[in-house]
Structure 1
Amino acid sequence: MNYQTIAQSNESTVVAEYFRETERKGSYESEAELEREFIAILEKQGYEYKKIHNQEKLKQNLRESLERLNEFTFSDSEWRDFYTHIIANKQETHKEKTKKFQQVSSFTLDLENGEKKNIKLIDKKNIYRNSLQVIHQYEANGGQNRYDVSILVNGLPLVHVELKKRGVALKNAFTQMQGYAKKSFCVDDGLFDYVQIFVISNGTESKYYSNTIKSSRNGKNTDTFEFTNYWADAKNQKILDLVDFAKTFFARHSILNILTRYCIFTSDENLLVMRPYQIVATERILEKIRIAHQNKSYGTKANGGYIWHTTGSGKTLTSFRAATLTQELKHIAKVLFVVDRKDLDYQTMKEYENFQKGAANATKNTTKLKEHLENPDAKIIVTTIQKLAIFIEKNPKHEIYQKEVVIIFDECHRSLGNVYKQITQAFKKYYFFGFTGTPIFAENCDKSKPQDTTENKFGERLHEYTIIDAISDKNVLPFRVEYTNTTQAKKDIKDKDVRAIDEEKALLDERRIKAITDYIIKNFARLTKNEENYAYAKNLAGESTQNKSGHKGFNSILACSSIKAAKKYYQAFKEQDHSLKIATIFSYSQSEGIDGLEEENNENIDGLDQNSKEFLDNAIKDYNAMFGSNFDTSGFQEYYKDLAKNMKERKIDILIVANMFLTGFDAKTLNTLWVDKNLKYHGLIQAFSRTNRILDSVKTHGNIVCFRNLEQDLNDALKLFGNKNASAIVLLRKYEDYLNGYVDDEGKIYEGYKSLIEKLKGFPLGTSIDLEEEKREFIKLFGSILKLENLLNSFEEFQKSDHITERDFQDYQGMYLNLHDEMKEKREKGEQKEEINEELVFEVELVKQEEVGIDYILNLIYSYKHSELTAPGIREIIDSIINSSTQLRSRKELIEGFVKKYQSNPNFKWQEHVKQQREEEFQNIIKANNLQEKKAYAFMSKAFKSGEISFLGTEFPDILPKMSFFQDGRKEVKAKVEQDLQEFFDKFYEIYKSDFTKQESAKDTAAEV
């Protein structure tokens, strides 16, 4: 192939509009046939097919490819040095290799003749100098793993593709890929640790995602199928079929642009791969700047435009990449990113710093803004509208006004006031761009200022990605809207002024406020899935227990009509009997906009009346008592930041607000908005969208509970920001549809919960499921029930006990988990044919959110007299509960051991039992694997302190028995110890987190009294 330099084209990374060129095949297509077809398409697009199936050939091809790219021939010793220390450094993890690939442009090699040579892994400036090759059926880990298809860029595997035959669940390809990424990519010389992007496809549906794997134990749930992405054209039409995906995503210029321009390795070591609509927006901004500069048409509205990307779709990342790519243009002096509030200034800087440390420059005050504008090295500046306006007033003849400056406005649907005129008159060579999730149109603008539409201010719409697109792509969640009519004010008062006078007393009536707080307290657990677990509350002895389930649940915001209302609600909650953590925050704002949202003021409480200041101070004292902090209203900004942090970490159950936190605040743990406030158009969509960030498979939608009749306002907003049919996509269906089943507009039949439960009875309890076909049928059926029940639990009308008893459901769940463990064990032993159960997806995450924990089973044990624990009926109850819980079944032996000791000594304590068992089992692991005892304790102590066990770095190898690096069986020993320690950690961490130190004796000592 010819790899000579080709002039870089201006082809867009994302195709403008894609039309399928071929008809679908009608015949059956195996996975092997799908693979061959995929490779053939890549070859037609300029990829070179290489027969590489092992590491030696991969290594040799890598050397040849890098020599060709760098126009340099390595000597054997030079190659050995470069390969060993730079490419295949044994001390580096996949994150360190990702950082190296993304952030280091070239590496210095000391040559044999004493000279130095810069070696590139990839040419980011001229992407067409890079070679693209495709390999398949590569064998890793001594042949234990065989990979489907890998894309080599200059010899390095940078994209990995996992294929399944048509009809197989796509999630299974994801699960298999995660297994490779965690266990086998790092083996041998770890070259597959360089993979940046994963692609999964079953032929019919294709998705992509980054190589980042986060630990869910630390509260980060991105290691989940929900964070995979669709590819699309510029009109947001998804490109699903593998053939079409190969022709677009894998077009040479597209995949190379994605790898070199649209991957961001963040400061907390996560790789973000941009979505197609983000790439389109970025490139259209760059194209606008290019044309305007070329024609010298800067300084006019026509050279700019706005991006309409719905709330929650990642506008900050898009603006960041647009800013960083723009700053590389030599003719651009500055890129100003302008926000309208100090908290957003802080939040944006924090996000920019996370995307790339030192990429942007913060402006604490106008003096700092002036310094940055005069510093040629400060190319990207984050500031507020207010600071920019003050700078213009104080510096009417500054030299920056004569330079080409790109000004990007965040949330440009908000009012710019007179600042717009100030900026456009001061800066002579500006490029104006705005980002918004909810543009201002003629329909939703302030009728006294009809000129204040987004288009009038910023120019044409450069790209749109609406709430309809985002929900269809599963990038944000739909809403379930619930109207409660028990507390609504009169419906016959239409006139706004009359309503303001006549309804205020009714709306703020203490009886109404109390009725609503009662409702919220009663329904909080149902909606946030933060329920004290009553799943098995009534046992045979008639005992009740109240213990948390495995899932931590979500939190909520109560949006009030005024500060006066917020104060009344906060006081009402204080007077109620509940265990919820409740906080409030408010500040002075001058007026309510047409959308029902006041202008937020998060800097101070100036303007508040004395009573409100005192009330807020007392509320902050309550907050301090809750969290051990020391805030007051004089440090309002710091209180705001800490409150926002605790909301994001789900440490607050309900946040009561009037004019804050309803725009610009993102918390994935927030899933419910209680609304006692009139909202319209962009204000309504902005407020509702606080609840619809994706998190995991448990969070399926955002809950909106309205204490006012906003139905028409919601319909108007959806028509404006979606289309006339938006409700069918944006809102969940009614309760009866999920219960009884329904047929959608396209004629697809969806079975209801009642029908599924009836089918469950076809698998009688007490009988085994022996046939493979019946096992598959049961797994599919119970998975469907779990998903539907997770959704139905949000409806007040749903009563699970009306359809199946808790005990029966618990036993069925135990059967489900038994089959899960059975198939997992067969896969690990290689006893299960690969294709047999590929269409099966186990919904274990949904099981976990409903199940009971250790506390529940202990309380149940304690509730019986120790002599009763041998009774068959009692033991059946305990065994059934243990078997139905993923958390308990892995600790079954531990619990049974405790029951035996408790029977002989009713004063014996669980914690003492766990402590003894933990020590005994760890000693067994040390002896069985001949580990270095002192270092092993230090290693595990660190794991228990951090909440995560890591086998990366040098600490883990240090605990292994002393073996030669090349000794046979070394890998097997290492793998076994990893597995033993991981299982040990998973078993004991959640139930006994005290210091991990060696105990003097692991034997039973005198029982605690």
Structure 2
Amino acid sequence: MSPLNPGRFTTGSGKTLTSFKAAQLASKMPSVDKVLFVVDRKDLDYQTMREYDRFAPGSANSNTSTKILAEQLTKPNGALLKSGRTNQPIIITTIQKLSTFIKANTGHEIFSGHVVIIFDACHRSQFGDMHTDITRAFKRYNLFGFTGTPIFAENSASGGNPLLKTTEQAFGDKLHTYTIMDAITDKNVLPFRVDYINTIGARAGIVDKDVPAIDRERALLDPRRIAQVTAYILEHFDQKTKRQTSYEHAVVTNVAESSRTHRRAESLKEKKRVRGFNALFATASIDAARRYYNQFQMQMEQLPPAKRLKVGLIYSYGANEAEPDGILEDEAFDTDMLASGARDFLEDAIQDYNDMFGTSYDTSADKFQNYYKDLSQRMKNREIDLVIVVNMFLTGFDATTLNTLFVDKNLRMHGLIQAYSRTNRILNSVKRHGNIVVFRDLEDETNAALELFGNKDARSIVIAPPYSEYFAEYSEKVSELLRRFPLGAQIIGEQDQKDFINIFGSVLRLSNILGEFDEFEGQDVLTERQHQDYRSVYLNLYADFRTDTAAEKEQINDDVVFEIELVKQVEINVDYILMLVERMRAERGNGKDKELRAQITHAVDASPSLRSKRDLVEDFVDSVSVDGAVDEQWQTFIAAKRDAELQRIIDELELKPEQTRAFVVAAFRDAQLSTGGTAITTIMPPVSRFNREAGHGDKKKRVIEALTSFFERYFELAGGSE
């Protein structure tokens, strides 16, 4: 049977979902014996299985060894496997396991059956001997290939089988195309914002295309240049990744368990507020990665703790040389063949990681793979700031929290698109672009890749507008805001309220984007105080609209969108308020304390979380003494208020005092209030066996509402939000 190539689906466009549906439909055809979904890396095996189970639980089987794959291909569909799972017609496996099975099972009956083989990412790993082995072994097959970065004649590599150099040669005619332009237009992925940083000092002539590649790479490793690139990243990291902002994100809380079972991992997700996004740093070689890792450690020693980054490092054999053609090699997990110095260095870096997170990984085969999984999950959880890589993580790795790629390596064609596309997964309204910061002359390569995988007009869609366009639009919106809605003037009337919300929403969105540009520093046309005061007005309107909704009044906000996530990202925390209180206390009596007192009020009003706790902040500010540490006084004040308020709830609802206090302590410890099961019932007073149902449900509801309100009021103030 001839192979079929569904064509190019750009990265992030839903290839896995589309290929799953194709696999599911094929598996239900009476003539099809098995559907093999083939991936090219072990971590993608696990990742795909988790995706499939989310689409349709139990619809497919994966395997951890060729032996298990053989059992799945031998036993009939519906039979019980040794693992206890039912044998499914869809099998997820790696190309390596499938190739090993073929070589070890010549004449197996599955080769005569009707098999549909689907490749999720048909990169170059499917173009070699393994691809030939598969297509020779199976007699009746349909072969499908999905890829976001197809190989054309223009971007094919030299060497190898001359009949298997392009995607079309390996997988047949293209059935469908969905380009990166389509995905961005449909808002399935984000556009890129590219900074070309060419102010880094380097020896003259090193970018000359005539200089042999190895000499150019040696020159680019000049210690002075390494130090300057590192200093730039450290200086601009918070700006590019918005590390000073925050947002709510679902995280997997037990990484070790999630590595063993995808089902358990899904049940361990919980919402947490995290700070900013994270980044990858793509380096040209293992030598370069090591030099940069050392430089980061050295420079961070001179920084205050708040400015230091959690930096990881990963590489493996096969990614140990610079790629002259800028094409990424397929990822491998082999550390045994690393040179001793490179492996020892990686071992030390993994030990730094172990010290950071309390883990116990090393470079041995199994532990290195688990290190990869743990590192990737911590990237997705936003627990690590920056990972230095050579080729790893630049293809196939998806983390919505990743928004920035620093590049100091040659990239081109599909390798460039694959690497850039690590950054443009949609997460929330705060993340507007995939940030690419390039320390090499890759502008021509970027434009060529976009033209190849889009068309000649792709750049205007795929690459975000320049700073000047955003700043001009921002200045125009701010001018309109100041002219139409001066601070202190009441906004009266439905239409004016709508207009204010829309205009200030635009200001929030544009300010969020401009904050990623180096040029915006010191150029904001609104002062910090004006930002706070306008946010306060915005939040007042938001509260009014929500009250109208609750009261089921006539709705006026059907065509109004509140950018509350963008307000929350500049959330003012308790530490900032306490700092202002400390300054106010020091200035008491000279007039400046009144200004600081007003500043505290403005800051609280501009904070979505603190404005609901205004009474606590105001009472503390009025009661703070001239002696003693402010933060200690705050903790004592909050503890007393919290205990008094909990006692009032206990008295009013007649709850069991000891059990209720233990229940609340557990809630603050676990960062969530457990309202399911019998947890609430154990703190309520006993119910008469003759009147068990009367009012019990209403009473339980009142208890849940009271304790939920109490928990939300005091949790962040108790230091549990981060």
| Alignment partner of 2:19 out of 305, 309, 319 | 319
Please give the alpha-carbon distance, in whole angstroms, between the structure 1 residues aligned to 2:666 and 2:186. Answer: 40
Please give the alpha-carbon distance, in whole angstroms, between the structure 2 residues aligned to 1:495 and 1:906. Answer: 64
* Secondary structure of 2:490's aligned partner: coil
Q: Which residue of 2 aligns with 1:988?
A: 714
- The CA deviation at 1:885 is 1.0
> After the TM superposition, which residues 363-442 of structure 1 pair with which residues of structure 2 at under 5 Å, given as runs?
363-377=63-77, 378=87, 379-416=89-126, 417-442=128-153
Return 5+ residue gaps in structure 1 as ranges: 1-298, 534-548, 742-751, 995-1009
Please give the alpha-carbon distance, in whole angstroms, between the structure 1 residues aligned to 2:647 and 2:124. Answer: 63
Could you say if the C-alpha distance between residues 761 and 854 of structure 1 is closer, same or farther in structure 2, counting changes exceeding 3 Å? farther
Please give the alpha-carbon distance, in whole angstroms, between the structure 2 residues aligned to 1:384 and 1:495. Answer: 41
> After the TM superposition, which residues 662-701 of structure 1 pair with which residues of structure 2 at under 5 Å, given as runs?
662-701=394-433
- Contact map agreement 2:317 2:337 (CA 8 A) in 1: yes
**How many percent of aligned residue pairs carry the same amino acid?**
48
Please give the alpha-carbon distance, in whole angstroms, between the structure 1 residues aligned to 2:490 and 2:6. Answer: 62
- Matched to 1:471, the amino acid is I
- The CA deviation at 1:487 is 2.4
- Contact map agreement 2:120 2:146 (CA 8 A) in 1: yes
- Contact map agreement 1:403 1:429 (CA 8 A) in 2: yes
- Contact map agreement 2:478 2:526 (CA 8 A) in 1: no
- The CA deviation at 1:663 is 0.4
Q: Deviations over 1:774-819 (max 9, x none)?
A: 3333222211110110111111111355412212222222222222
Q: Which residue of 2 aligns with 1:268?
A: none
Please give the alpha-carbon distance, in whole angstroms, between the structure 2 residues aligned to 1:383 and 1:786. Answer: 46
Please give the alpha-carbon distance, in whole angstroms, between the structure 1 residues aligned to 2:626 and 2:215. Answer: 71
Q: Which residue of 1 aligns with 2:8?
A: 308
Please give the alpha-carbon distance, in whole angstroms, between the structure 2 residues aligned to 1:342 and 1:482. Answer: 34
- Segment of structure 1 superposing worse, 512-521 or 952-961: 952-961
Please give the alpha-carbon distance, in whole angstroms, between the structure 2 residues aligned to 1:940 and 1:463. Answer: 56
- Matched to 1:389, the amino acid is S
Matched, 1:787 2:498: no
- The CA deviation at 1:957 is 6.4
The size of the alignment, in residue pairs, is 666
- Matched to 2:276, the amino acid is G
TM-score by length of 2: 0.85
Could you say if the C-alpha distance between residues 586 and 769 of structure 1 is closer, same or farther in structure 2, counting changes exceeding 3 Å? same
Q: Which residue of 1 aligns with 2:348?
A: 618
- Matched to 1:601, the amino acid is A
| Alignment partner of 1:656 out of 388, 400, 410 | 388
> After the TM superposition, which residues 523-922 of structure 1 pair with which residues of structure 2 at under 5 Å, given as runs?
523-531=236-244, 552-576=275-299, 577-578=302-303, 579-589=308-318, 592=323, 594-602=325-333, 604-634=334-364, 635-741=367-473, 752-799=474-521, 802-830=524-552, 832-834=553-555, 836-865=556-585, 868=588, 871-903=593-625, 906=628, 909-922=633-646
- The CA deviation at 1:459 is 1.9
Please give the alpha-carbon distance, in whole angstroms, between the structure 1 residues aligned to 2:561 and 2:697. Answer: 31
- The CA deviation at 1:492 is 7.0
* Secondary structure of 1:674's aligned partner: strand
Please give the alpha-carbon distance, in whole angstroms, between the structure 1 residues aligned to 2:422 and 2:189. Answer: 11
Matched, 1:459 2:190: no
- Contact map agreement 2:32 2:116 (CA 8 A) in 1: yes
- Contact map agreement 2:63 2:93 (CA 8 A) in 1: yes
Return 5+ residue gaps in structure 2 as ranges: 78-86, 247-271
- The CA deviation at 1:895 is 1.5
- The CA deviation at 1:526 is 0.5
> After the TM superposition, which residues 486-501 of structure 1 pair with which residues of structure 2 at under 5 Å, given as runs?
486-487=199-200, 498-501=211-214
Matched, 1:504 2:223: no
- The CA deviation at 1:920 is 1.9
Please give the alpha-carbon distance, in whole angstroms, between the structure 1 residues aligned to 2:663 and 2:35. Answer: 47
- Matched to 1:499, the amino acid is P
Please give the alpha-carbon distance, in whole angstroms, between the structure 1 residues aligned to 2:202 and 2:22. Answer: 48
- The CA deviation at 1:936 is 4.8
- Contact map agreement 2:574 2:717 (CA 8 A) in 1: yes
- The CA deviation at 1:322 is 2.9
Could you say if the C-alpha distance between residues 944 and 461 of structure 1 is closer, same or farther in structure 2, counting changes exceeding 3 Å? farther
Please give the alpha-carbon distance, in whole angstroms, between the structure 2 residues aligned to 1:550 and 1:889. Answer: 18
Over aligned residue pairs, what C-alpha RMSD do you find?
Answer: 3.0
Q: Which residue of 2 aligns with 1:138?
A: none
* Secondary structure of 1:430's aligned partner: strand
- Contact map agreement 1:868 1:874 (CA 8 A) in 2: no
Please give the alpha-carbon distance, in whole angstroms, between the structure 2 residues aligned to 1:842 and 1:356. Answer: 34
- The CA deviation at 1:318 is 2.9
TM-score by length of 1: 0.62
Could you say if the C-alpha distance between residues 495 and 599 of structure 1 is closer, same or farther in structure 2, counting changes exceeding 3 Å? farther
Q: Deviations over 1:877-899 (max 9, x none)?
A: 11111111112211111112222
Please give the alpha-carbon distance, in whole angstroms, between the structure 2 residues aligned to 1:532 and 1:392. Answer: 52
Please give the alpha-carbon distance, in whole angstroms, between the structure 1 residues aligned to 2:74 and 2:291. Answer: 50
* Secondary structure of 1:639's aligned partner: helix
Higher Rg of the two aligned structures: 1
Please give the alpha-carbon distance, in whole angstroms, between the structure 2 residues aligned to 1:352 and 1:647. Answer: 22
- Contact map agreement 2:245 2:276 (CA 8 A) in 1: no
- Matched to 2:714, the amino acid is F
- Contact map agreement 1:595 1:682 (CA 8 A) in 2: no
Q: Deviations over 1:163-221 (max 9, x none)?
A: xxxxxxxxxxxxxxxxxxxxxxxxxxxxxxxxxxxxxxxxxxxxxxxxxxxxxxxxxxx
- Matched to 1:696, the amino acid is N
Please give the alpha-carbon distance, in whole angstroms, between the structure 2 residues aligned to 1:409 and 1:488. Answer: 44
* Secondary structure of 1:909's aligned partner: helix
- Contact map agreement 1:718 1:726 (CA 8 A) in 2: yes
Q: Deviations over 1:838-866 (max 9, x none)?
A: 32222111011113211111122123437
- Matched to 2:156, the amino acid is C
- Contact map agreement 2:481 2:504 (CA 8 A) in 1: no
Q: Which residue of 1 aligns with 2:39?
A: 339
- Contact map agreement 1:557 1:657 (CA 8 A) in 2: yes
- The CA deviation at 1:927 is 3.5
- Contact map agreement 2:190 2:426 (CA 8 A) in 1: yes
- The CA deviation at 1:362 is 2.9
Higher relative contact order (CA 8 A, sep 6+): 2
- Matched to 2:521, the amino acid is Q
Q: Which residue of 2 aligns with 1:34?
A: none
- Contact map agreement 2:7 2:145 (CA 8 A) in 1: yes
- Segment of structure 1 superposing worse, 770-779 or 454-463: 770-779
- Matched to 2:31, the amino acid is H
Q: Which residue of 2 aligns with 1:21?
A: none
- Matched to 2:642, the amino acid is R
Please give the alpha-carbon distance, in whole angstroms, between the structure 2 residues aligned to 1:786 and 1:867. Answer: 33
